[in-house]
Amino acid sequence: MLVKQLLEMWFAVGTPLNETVDKINNLITHVSNMGDLDWPTFKTYVLINALGGKFEYMQSQIHVLSNDPGFSAKTVVARILQESDLIKRHAEGGEGPSTLISHTG
């Protein structure tokens, strides 16, 4: 059930991206207590999966990065937080997140 929650979790425009990262981290902690799994790889998959929907453009960008040496969940989180900062700057400049997505997606 927890894994299903993780795989159905998505980043949403109206929710700060770091809140979704925190929710994913909390669920990963609960699931990791259930037994052995390659948790760093699983976390990477969950984060990438959560970008579907409104953030598919970022999901595609991250898929390209996934072949780089040293690619990990840290890479994904760093890219998500960069996007979060960009969204905030655009919002402060009077452009809403939907404008940003339509330009990058």
Segment 27-73, tens digit of pLDDT? 989 888 877 878 888 889 889 989 988 899 999 999 899 889 999 99
> pLDDT-based confidence at 3, cuts 50/70/90?
confident
Residue 6 to residues 70, 72, 75, 84: CA-CA distances in angstroms? 24, 17, 19, 20
Taking the whole predicted model, whether its pTM rises above 0.75 is answered as: no
Residue 102: per-residue pLDDT: 46
- On average, the pLDDT of the chain sits at 85
Count up the domains in the chain and report the number: 1
Q: What is the rounded average pLDDT of the residues 75-97?
A: 87
Cβ 40 vs Cβ 72: under 8 Å: yes
Q: Which domain holds residue 92?
A: 2-104
Give 28-37 contacts, CB < 8 A, sequence gap 24+. 30/2, 31/2, 31/3, 31/6, 34/2
Distance of CA 66 to the CA centre of its chain: 14
